[in-house]
Structures are given as structure tokens and as C-alpha cells.
Amino acid sequence: MNIVLFEDAAVAKLYPITVGRPAYAISCASYTLVDLLTPCSDAIRGVVRPHLIELQKCDRPALHQTALDNAQPTLLLNAVVAPTAANRLALIEWAAANKPGAIYSGDRLLAALLPAHTSLPGREANAYELRDYLSSTAITKLPAAGHKLTWFAYPHDVVQANLDTFTDNLELRLREGAYQEKQDGLFLAGSAQIGDHVVWDSSTGPIIVEPDATIGPYCYVRGPVYIGRGARILEHSAIKDSVSLAHTTKIGGEVEGTVIEPYSNKQHHGFLGHSYLGSWVNLGAGTSNSDLKNTYGTVKMEYRGEKVATGMQFLGAIVGDYAKTAINTGIFTGKTVGVCSMLYGFVTTNVASFVNYARLFGQVTEMTADVMIATQERMFLRRNVTQRACDIQLIHDMYLLTQDERQLAGEPLAL
């Protein structure tokens, strides 16, 4: 089976998460969609927005270079489909039955199974060019498929899916991976440095620790929890209840029900709950967020002027890539923080991308892309990562893509 992961026009509703990453690269309960599906096919292609093509070529060349087998059926899968064990099982069963069809949510195409020898757009097609094909009769005349898929409509859906699917996803990892059970419910996939007096509580779900992770002394870890390759958890930390740590993250303080993407730091005291952190985020010492309203009611989010009822009682912050907070920053319940932003004091409103946000002190100023490119280079050097031309270009592209955010913010911005 061929698999084509595509981004549609509505992927922008997932900003700030998807400003600088393909939707198939969103982490949730230890998986990204592309990693979840890799064992299912030898031919997976990614069709992304134009500004992400070079990044895909650099980071995941197989998604651009791999040729599709015309003699095999092809699964077109919207990249916003959540990386859950249940979704993968449904897709495998559908493909095995070899029944061409389509799955929609309203008028949004989530998946289509095409028979063998179906002509598809060329390898160089981007997400905009594929859209014409997705609205062609080759797709619209397919019969409805009866399978149900979980997917991300808004950023808070990532946090909810992370909570809902965590144990199932970890059980899938345990079935397919090479893990050793060191004690009841604690599974290691290789060498890890574990300090003295760590308390492992797997009574509510398994705990998986990938190779080269470091867990300091006097930590408390309550499952389900996933600790990625090379992650570092500092002493006296509390990590609990559906925390998904991607590779090369640094974590301290208290973290609960949260997804953290690669290379992000929250290594000091402070609370982070029911949130999503993008890559290369740094939370200063004492930074905390609220994930529960004083009224104990459900949280409403606002995305680019659209107010959305989440139905979630516990919901913290959605933080975009490269965002930074100063010491003792406090983020109110249900706020979004744009990419490449810097926060100071209390965050009582959503934060646009590329701004210095010190609203408490009457200052919200715009940052240039050049400032963030220089910051990116310094950050990369600290992790022995080489800054590439595609990384620099991505900063420029993200700046242009988020111009409307700074206008919608209604703040007196100045350079």
C-alpha cells in the first residue's frame, strides 16, 4: 500500500502548532502520524505547503524521494488525522479489505483509498496543487467508507487526544518495540541513567524510557508517561498522567498531561499542565501556567478571532516553536503563544507570533525575523545542531505567514 500524507487548506486552524511543521509531524501520546504509519508501508510520501517543502527534503527526505508503486492501492490521508493506535488499526483493516472509498468530516476529506493503477499528481506537487485533485471526480465519486477517524481540528484537540489515547499508544509501542521491563510497568529500550530514589508509579499506565535518557534523583514519575531518546529530567521533578516528552528535551518541576516537542526546555521549577509545547521552546525559571478556571467550568479558546468551546475542564497553553518566557512568567488558562515570541510577566491574552510580550508593563513590540535567526543559531550551537539554509528560510517564512496575527492582536506594536 502507498500512503500519501497531505495538508489541506484548513491546516491553518492548527496555528501556532503548524506554522513551522507539517501536520503529520505533530507529536501526540509518543507518536507522530508519519512515524506511526512507517511500519505499515514502504512507500510514504508527504505533500506539504510550499514553505515546508525544503524542510521536508532536509529532515525527512524519504517522504519526498520515495517512489509510489502504481501496482498497489494508495491511501490518501489528511495529515491532521491523529496518531492513535485506534486510527492505525482502522486504516490497516480498511486497506486489507481493499475497498476503495472516502472518509469525510462534513465536507473535509480525511482519507481516501484509491485502487491500484490510479494516476496521482507528480512527486513535486505541493499541498496547494494537490487540492485540485482532491476535489476531482476521482475522489468525489468514491463511496463513503464506514470507518471513523480521530483528527485535529484545533490545537486543543492535540491535548485531548494525548489524554485519550496515551495508554493504547504505549501498549502498541510495547508490542512492536524491544523493551525490557525493569519493574512492574516500567519499560526501558536501552541504556538510561537513573538517579537514586526515583519513584515509578505505573498503577494508572505504563512508563516507557528510551535510550540515553537521564532521570535525576528524587523524581516522581506516574504513568502513562513517555520519555524520549536523550531526554533529561532534573532532580525533584514530578512527571505524571500522560506526559509525552520527545527526544532531547530538558524537564524540571511539575509537568502533567502535556506534549513537549524535540529540543524544548522546561528545566526549572514551575507547573506546566495540559499543554502543548513546540520545538526549541524555553520556559524560564518559575514559569507556570493555569490549566483550570477558578469557576471550574470548561475552557473556551480563541483562535485568530474565532471563539471555540473546547468542552475541556483542564486545558493550559498552546505554545508555538521558538517561544521563550522570562523568569516567573505566569500564563493564564487556555492561551495560545505564537511562534518566535518572548514573554514577560503575566500572560492574560493570546500572544501573537514574533512579539516581545510584556503587556503587564504596557509593552508589546514586534520582533524582526533577523533577531530570531540569530537566536536560532545560538540555540542550535548549544545542542550541536547545524543551522541550515532551510532553517533560516523557515524563520523568514513564519514571519510572513503570521503578519495577520500581529494585526489581529490589536496591540500597539512597534519595532
Q: What is the mean pLDDT of residues 76-93?
A: 97
Q: What is the mean pLDDT of residues 127-138?
A: 79
On whether both 178 and 310 belong to a single domain, the answer is: yes
The answer on pLDDT for 183 being more than 80 is yes
Q: What is the mean pLDDT of residues 85-94?
A: 97
pLDDT digit string, tens, across residues 278-307 = 999 999 999 999 999 999 999 999 998 899
Residue 411: pLDDT band (50, 70, 90) is low
Beta bridge partners of 282: 265, 324
- Asked whether residue 273 is domain-assigned, the answer is yes
pLDDT digit string, tens, across residues 360-394 = 777 899 999 999 999 999 999 999 999 999 999 99
pLDDT digit string, tens, across residues 195-204 = 999 999 999 9
CATH of the domain at 329: 2.160.10.10
Q: What is the pLDDT of residue 70?
A: 84
Q: Give the domain range for residue 310.
A: 155-408
CB 50 within 8 A of CB 127: yes
pTM for this entry: 0.95
Q: How far apart are CA 148 and CA 246, in angstroms?
A: 28
Of 115-124, 133-142, 320-329, the range with the lowest mean pLDDT is 115-124
Q: What is the pLDDT of residue 133?
A: 83
Q: How far apart are CA 229 and CA 186, in angstroms?
A: 15
- Asked whether residue 146 is domain-assigned, the answer is no
Classify burial at 347, counting beta carbons within 10 Å of its beta carbon; exposed 0-12, middle 13-18, buried 19 or more. Answer: buried
Sheet strands (E) in 34-167: 43-47, 74-78, 101-105, 108-114
On whether both 136 and 242 belong to a single domain, the answer is: no
- Asked whether residue 256 is domain-assigned, the answer is yes
Q: Give the chain's domain count.
A: 2
- Asked whether residue 369 is domain-assigned, the answer is yes
On whether both 8 and 84 belong to a single domain, the answer is: yes
On whether both 304 and 223 belong to a single domain, the answer is: yes
Beta bridge partners of 314: 292
On whether both 276 and 392 belong to a single domain, the answer is: yes
On whether both 171 and 281 belong to a single domain, the answer is: yes
On whether both 103 and 177 belong to a single domain, the answer is: no
Q: What is the mean pLDDT of residues 87-96?
A: 96
On whether both 14 and 79 belong to a single domain, the answer is: yes
Boundary-marking domain end, from 140, 171, 188: 140
- Asked whether residue 334 is domain-assigned, the answer is yes
- Asked whether residue 414 is domain-assigned, the answer is no
The answer on pLDDT for 119 being more than 90 is no
Boundary-marking domain end, from 102, 117, 140: 140
Q: What is the mean pLDDT of residues 240-256?
A: 98
Looking at the chain, the whole-number percentage of residues with pLDDT higher than 70 is 97
On whether both 321 and 256 belong to a single domain, the answer is: yes
- Asked whether residue 413 is domain-assigned, the answer is no
On whether both 171 and 282 belong to a single domain, the answer is: yes
On whether both 75 and 218 belong to a single domain, the answer is: no
Of 55-59, 62-66, 108-112, the range with the lowest mean pLDDT is 62-66
- Asked whether residue 148 is domain-assigned, the answer is no
| Number of other residues whose CB lies within 10 A of the CB of residue 370 | 12
Nearest to 322 by CA among 341, 336, 335: 341
Q: What is the pLDDT of residue 384?
A: 95
Q: What is the pLDDT of residue 407?
A: 77
CB 336 within 8 A of CB 301: yes
Return mean pLDDT, the chain. 94
Q: What is the mean pLDDT of residues 126-147?
A: 83
The answer on pLDDT for 415 being more than 60 is no
Dihedrals phi, psi of 322, to nearest 5 degrees: 70, 5
Boundary-marking domain end, from 108, 140, 172: 140
Residue 137: pLDDT band (50, 70, 90) is confident
On whether both 368 and 239 belong to a single domain, the answer is: yes
CA 269 to chain centre: 23
CB 338 within 8 A of CB 354: yes
